[in-house]
Amino acid sequence: SRGAPVFSSKDGNFTFKPRGRILADISSTSGSDYDRRNITVSTLRQFRFGGVGTVGDHLFYQFEADFRRNSVEVVNTFLGYKTKFGKVNADIRAGNLITDRGIDIGTAATANPFITTNINTIALATQGGRAYLMGIAARAGQKNWHWSVAVHGDALDSDFTRNDHRMFLSRAHWNPVLTDKAIVHVGGWAYSEHIPAATASVSVNQFISGALNNSVQVNVATLNGATGSKAFGVEFGGVYGPVYAFSEYGERHVKGGPAAAFDTAKFKTLSVNGGFWLTGEKPTYTSVSGTYVAPKVLNPITEGGSGGIELVARYEHQDSSGAPLGGTGWAATAGVNWYLTNYFRLMLDGIHWETNNLTGSYLGKDSGNTIAARAEVAF
Amino acid sequence: SRGAPVFSSKDGNFTFKPRGRILADISSTSGSDYDRRNITVSTLRQFRFGGVGTVGDHLFYQFEADFRRNSVEVVNTFLGYKTKFGKVNADIRAGNLITDRGIDIGTAATANPFITTNINTIALATQGGRAYLMGIAARAGQKNWHWSVAVHGDALDSDFTRNDHRMFLSRAHWNPVLTDKAIVHVGGWAYSEHIPAATASVSVNQFISGALNNSVQVNVATLNGATGSKAFGVEFGGVYGPVYAFSEYGERHVKGGPAAAFDTAKFKTLSVNGGFWLTGEKPTYTSVSGTYVAPKVLNPITEGGSGGIELVARYEHQDSSGAPLGGTGWAATAGVNWYLTNYFRLMLDGIHWETNNLTGSYLGKDSGNTIAARAEVAF
Amino acid sequence: SRGAPVFSSKDGNFTFKPRGRILADISSTSGSDYDRRNITVSTLRQFRFGGVGTVGDHLFYQFEADFRRNSVEVVNTFLGYKTKFGKVNADIRAGNLITDRGIDIGTAATANPFITTNINTIALATQGGRAYLMGIAARAGQKNWHWSVAVHGDALDSDFTRNDHRMFLSRAHWNPVLTDKAIVHVGGWAYSEHIPAATASVSVNQFISGALNNSVQVNVATLNGATGSKAFGVEFGGVYGPVYAFSEYGERHVKGGPAAAFDTAKFKTLSVNGGFWLTGEKPTYTSVSGTYVAPKVLNPITEGGSGGIELVARYEHQDSSGAPLGGTGWAATAGVNWYLTNYFRLMLDGIHWETNNLTGSYLGKDSGNTIAARAEVAF
């Protein structure tokens, strides 16, 4: 577990554990035909602070706010009730929740093998492109499967004069093989979204060279008059010894209403990634939730070791050509992660990307290279 | 006391206790003649984090920020000095303070018997409608009375180019009867507000079906050129066994200056509420400050019980007809609160409301019903 | 050390210490020929919350956000690695860092002898006037010297479509005399700033009667088309028994590019301050970093004493006449600080100021007096 201590009340009925993370990033792009895409940017990619805890055996809570942009974004903030049905763990939670929509989106940024989560995370989100939404979610699972169902509303805001969006979401995963040496993961999810009439139009543009270069995107015409969307995703992958590989494919079909200039706008997104631990650690996939978690570094520097080293690679493809003036793009990433401890990591990613846009400031085929680096601590 | 542990320095001269609360809400309105009033909205009604502590026997501090709207609102954040004169407790505090202006406004949201504080809280506030203002407050009291005097400036902002508003405020309460079985509460407050000339006009609109439907309001014409206001409130109520009932009435008279199109704009606000504990708990009124506090649940679920259940009801009336184009409105609420523990609560409120507006988007007599629900934890 | 306790994991490899500060201020100005400069304003000058800690012997982290304006400003938030080369302490850190640009800017607000840091802090900052910038900094030192070098980018923002600014910065200080009774401090710093072409114009206006009256400033014409700047500062001062005095002088030369209406805009800034402890405490200068730290109060009120009292005085001068339409101004401050404990302080400053502006709303020679007061706690 993380280093931060857990505090308990005297009767043990209440626990509280502070949590936080600091991700200091820099990203530099070159090689684009457009000078304004060749930029160098630094930031805190995440700066979160919060806590988790329990009240008795069944009640639990978690809260976390992100201050990375000198503004607030509330992330995991909910309360819940958990219980057991035989060997099945089950819980229900209400509040601001991560949408359970794949392997990467359910993985903490501090456990993701790459500096940026895969393209599926945002490209297949509901209108507004948010990973966290208000809602109620129920979940059941054992050590080799889980199933979640949820109903979500809007992201947190101060707009109390119109209906929330509404999203019905479900995801499941199963591990048909689960041994010490080998794991196979199959999973999938689907959602149905209702967009209220009063919603402003939204641009569905997707960055594809990391989150710190917003000029490198696959662009689409602004969508007006959408009434809802349906989306699905499939997941497949596994672990064999120190090697792992996972893939996610998904589609989102946005439906235009009477006022829209389009009937259906389709978005297709693919991500394939894999990695290998040079220093012998086990891959960090967890069969409980079908996501990545932090590693158990064999020789952390706090015990005189030199840490753990992981080599990673990823291919991502975005096809927005089924939407008005929709472009296409892909990115290939190679990276190395040096874990000084389980929760202190240095990362280096090299990305080659290509976009082919029909709208926006950067038209036609263009390609370039982005180098991204991160220093990161979580507690 | 709350579950969160108190941390001390080794010499005991410094203490620190983390505090927080998560209130996950949903509200759904139907029955209005105006479709845009019939909306369903979810949000974190509050998401606060902070701490309280002491430095030696006399110095104390408290701080708390609310992130509920994906933005920051600093709430209780002050430092102070406390002492005793014989049996009288006294303190003085400086910082961002709650304005001591009634029973409900002085009650923590997690102790209020209703999902939304009563209408008096905002309807009788100084210009801007804020419950928290910068200021200095002194307070004295014993177990059956308290008296506070304060001078307040603005809410926190970044406007350092013009004068703060200025508010002189005083409140007192007394319990002529205070036994184990019966309590009588009488109280009152008054303030005088100076509005500096550079102040922009402000709309004094009051929501009346809970805080999550901003389309259901009692509206007033925008007030330009106000130079100040005077307001007062009276409080009466009590407890008898497991039953309690309290009422608050108040008026605010806004004075127009030479540039104003009105001489005086009057607002009158009434709230009457009561409750009953099905499971035998004592009503949560505290005679120290004349407000509500958290209950002592007899059979919390952390000890195998089924929690405490409270039935509540409230009537509220807003009369803004003494102001230019001012409307009227009322709301009747019935609710049930299920306390799983002292600080973990589920709430359900049903509200029938009526508005009669002369300005704004929803003119004339209109009525509807709002169902609101909350899951809530504090630590 | 501060009162807040330090929490450790069981194996001692992880520590966490919560930190915070509340600074409640009021400022009142009179005597100006311009009524709109004669204003009274209150606010939380700072309201910060965060933590510091270590991971093993070499890794460390710190994070802190300021909520003073009902918005977020991320301040010290970084992670780092520290080690020893013989007797030399060295560290490297990455994240959102204070720019090591003088005595005052490196001093925590809760340790500064004055309510407002000296004029050099903001007047000599890079474009945008920020004390904290993203970056990487290395530092080496012993008990009587330190040297830092850093490269900085932008302040935290959400602008990922253009290049960051870039700043190379270095500072060093040395104590040729360092005894129990006497200390001599000499120091200096310099930076080179590159301003990317896409940068919007910036106004370099400097407040000179404290941070709570933004109408009392030394003004300059808006600078368009700047391509970079160079700046330097020199520091001299020392301690003798209970008396101390320090001075800082610096210049910033902003270079105009082809699109600019100026060739070079020069800013010159001087600050001289001193103080004396009536109650016998040692001046709070630390030779490790060449800044002020919190005092060791001899008779804190937590031990029945009456606290420590410090008398302070400061003269500041701003000369922006080397820039287009640049004005001049000066301020003289006398103050008294009453430390109830090491970290609980009441402050009172009286400031006489004069400005002579060629642009802005307050032209020509004008002078006035500002009274500022603060109650402050840090943990």
Q: How many CA atoms lie within 13 A of A374 on its CB side?
A: 30
How distant is the Cα of B172 from the closest Cα of chain C, in angstroms? 26
SS3 B2: coil
| Within-domain flag for C171 | yes
Give the nearest partner residue to B161 out of C5, C18, C215, using CB atoms: C215
Q: How would residue A201 be classed by pLDDT, with cut points 50, 70 and 90?
A: confident
Torsion of CA A352, A357, A360, A361, to 10 degrees: 50
**CB proximity list for C168: less than 8 A, separation 6 or greater:** C149, C150, C151, C191, C192
Residue B244 has pLDDT above 60, yes or no: yes
So what's the pLDDT on residue C46? 95
**Per-residue model confidence as pLDDT tens digits over C174-183:** 999 999 999 9
- Cβ under 8 Å to B: C residues 13-42: 18, 20, 22, 24, 26, 36, 39-42
So what's the pLDDT on residue B72? 94
Residue A269 has pLDDT above 50, yes or no: yes
| Within-domain flag for B8 | no
| Within-domain flag for C56 | no
- Cβ under 8 Å to A: B residues 358-377: 375-377
C132, C76 in Cβ contact below 8 A? Answer: yes
Host domain of residue B207: 20-378
Q: B3 versus A164: which is more confidently predicted?
A: A164
The answer to whether C58 contacts chain A (CB < 8 Å) is: yes
The answer to whether B51 contacts chain C (CB < 8 Å) is: yes
**Per-residue model confidence as pLDDT tens digits over A45-59:** 999 999 999 999 999
- Tell me whether residue B375 is exposed, middle or buried, using C-beta atoms within 10 angstroms of its C-beta: 0 to 12, 13 to 18, 19 or more: buried
Query: How far is B160 from C41, CA to CA, in rounded Å?
Result: 7
Residue C307 has pLDDT above 90, yes or no: yes
So what's the pLDDT on residue C204? 85
Q: How far is CA B97 from CA B67, B379, C43, in A?
A: 18, 20, 11
| Within-domain flag for A34 | yes
Q: For C35, which residue in chain B has the nearest alpha carbon?
A: B162
Nearest Cα neighbor of C371 from C17, C4, C26 is C26
- DSSP assignment of A16-52, as one string? EEEEEEEEEEEEEEE--SSGGGS-EEEEEEEEEEEEE
CB contact under 8 A, A3 and C55: yes
- Tell me whether residue C261 is exposed, middle or buried, using C-beta atoms within 10 angstroms of its C-beta: 0 to 12, 13 to 18, 19 or more: exposed
Residue A20 has pLDDT above 80, yes or no: yes
Residue B271 has pLDDT above 90, yes or no: yes
Query: How far is B177 from B239, CA to CA, in rounded Å?
Result: 10
The answer to whether B94 contacts chain C (CB < 8 Å) is: yes
So what's the pLDDT on residue B1? 46
Query: How far is C167 from C348, CA to CA, in rounded Å?
Result: 36
Backbone angles phi, psi at A266, to 5 degrees: -110, 135
CB contact under 8 A, A70 and C157: yes
So what's the pLDDT on residue A13? 84
**Per-residue model confidence as pLDDT tens digits over A153-173:** 999 988 898 898 999 999 999
The alpha helices in A91-211, defined as continuous H runs, are: 120-123
Give the 3-state secondary structure of chain C: CCCCCCEECCCCCEEEEEEEEEEEEEEEEECCCCHHHCCEEEEEEEEEEEEEEEECCCEEEEEEEECCCCCCEECCEEEEEEEEECCEEEEEEEEEEECCCCCCCCCCCCCCCCCCCCCHHHHCCCCCCCCEEEEEEEEEEECCEEEEEEEECCCCCCCCCCCCCEEEEEEEEEEEEECCCEEEEEEEEEEEEECCCCCCCECCCEECCCCCCCCCEECCCCECCEEEEEEEEEEEEEEECCEEEEEEEEEEEEEECCCCCCCEEEEEEEEEEEEEECCCCCCCEECCCCEECCCCCCCCHHHCCCCEEEEEEEEEEEEEEECCCCCEEEEEEEEEEEEEECCEEEEEEEEEEEEEECCCCCCEEEEEEEEEEEEEEEC
SS3 B142: strand
SS3 A121: helix
| Within-domain flag for A2 | no
So what's the pLDDT on residue A7? 81
Give the nearest partner residue to B40 out of A72, A79, A163, using CB atoms: A163
C131, C125 in Cβ contact below 8 A? Answer: yes
Residue B78 has pLDDT above 90, yes or no: yes
Residue B2 has pLDDT above 60, yes or no: no
Q: Which chains, if any, share at least 3 CB pairs under 8 A with chain B?
A: A, C
Query: How far is A42 from B160, CA to CA, in rounded Å?
Result: 31
Give the nearest partner residue to A77 out of B22, B211, B340, using CB atoms: B22
A377, C61 in Cβ contact below 8 A? Answer: yes
The answer to whether A64 contacts chain B (CB < 8 Å) is: no
Nearest Cα neighbor of A237 from A280, A182, A189, A295 is A182
CATH of the domain at A137: 2.40.160.10
- Cβ under 8 Å to C: B residues 126-155: 134-135, 153-155
∠ CA B312-B317-B323, nearest 5°, is: 155
Nearest Cα neighbor of A115 from A378, A295, A376 is A376
A360, A329 in Cβ contact below 8 A? Answer: no
Give the nearest partner residue to B77 out of C47, C71, C376, using CB atoms: C47
Mean pLDDT of A315-338: 97
| Within-domain flag for C307 | yes
Max CA separation in chain A (angstroms) = 66
Residue A1 has pLDDT above 70, yes or no: no
Q: How far is CA A268 from CA A119, A209, A247, B372, in A?
A: 10, 18, 14, 39
Q: How far is CA B259 from CA B187, B203, B263, in A?
A: 36, 16, 10
Q: For A57, which residue in chain B has the nearest alpha carbon?
A: B302
Q: Which chains, if any, share at least 3 CB pairs under 8 A with chain A?
A: B, C
Give the nearest partner residue to C74 out of A42, A47, A343, using CB atoms: A47
Q: For C57, which residue in chain A has the nearest alpha carbon?
A: A302
The interface pTM score, or ipTM, of the predicted complex is 0.93
Q: Which chains, if any, share at least 3 CB pairs under 8 A with chain C?
A: A, B
Which one of B70, B345, B374 would you mutate to disrupt binding with A, by most A Cβ within 10 Å of its Cβ?
B70
How many distinct structural domains can be found in chain C?
Answer: 1
CB contact under 8 A, C164 and A375: no
B26, B347 in Cβ contact below 8 A? Answer: no
| Within-domain flag for A5 | no
**Per-residue model confidence as pLDDT tens digits over C361-376:** 999 999 999 999 999 9
The answer to whether C69 contacts chain A (CB < 8 Å) is: no
**CB proximity list for B150: less than 8 A, separation 6 or greater:** B97, B99, B100, B135, B136, B137, B138, B167, B168, B169, B170
Using a CB-CB cut-off of 8 Å, the residues of chain B touching C343 are 55
Nearest Cα neighbor of C252 from C229, C236, C228 is C229
Q: How far is CA A116 from CA A111, A207, A372, C11, C46, in A?
A: 11, 10, 9, 32, 34
Which one of C43, C48, C115, C219 would you mutate to disrupt binding with B, by most B Cβ within 10 Å of its Cβ?
C43
| Within-domain flag for C3 | no
How distant is the Cα of A159 from the closest Cα of chain B, in angstroms? 8
Q: For B20, which residue in chain A has the nearest alpha carbon?
A: A63
Averaged confidence pLDDT in chain A? 94
- DSSP assignment of B60-85, as one string? EEEEEEE-TTSS-EE-SEEEEEEEEE
Query: How far is C336 from C349, CA to CA, in rounded Å?
Result: 7
Give the number of beta-carbon pairs within 8 Å between A and B.
132
**CB proximity list for C45: less than 8 A, separation 6 or greater:** C23, C24, C25, C68, C109, C115, C211, C212, C374
Nearest Cα neighbor of A369 from A28, A40, A25 is A28
**CB proximity list for A101: less than 8 A, separation 6 or greater:** A120, A121, A124, A125, A169, A171, A189, A191, A233
Q: For C72, which residue in chain B has the nearest alpha carbon?
A: B72
**Per-residue model confidence as pLDDT tens digits over A227-267:** 999 999 999 999 999 999 999 999 999 999 998 999 999 99
Give the nearest partner residue to A61 out of B18, B22, B68, using CB atoms: B22
CB count within 10 Å of CB A270 equals: 18
The answer to whether A7 contacts chain B (CB < 8 Å) is: yes
Q: How much of chain C exceeds pLDDT 90, in percent?
A: 88
CB contact under 8 A, A379 and C160: no
C29, C44 in Cβ contact below 8 A? Answer: no
Torsion of CA C173, C174, C177, C181, to 10 degrees: 40
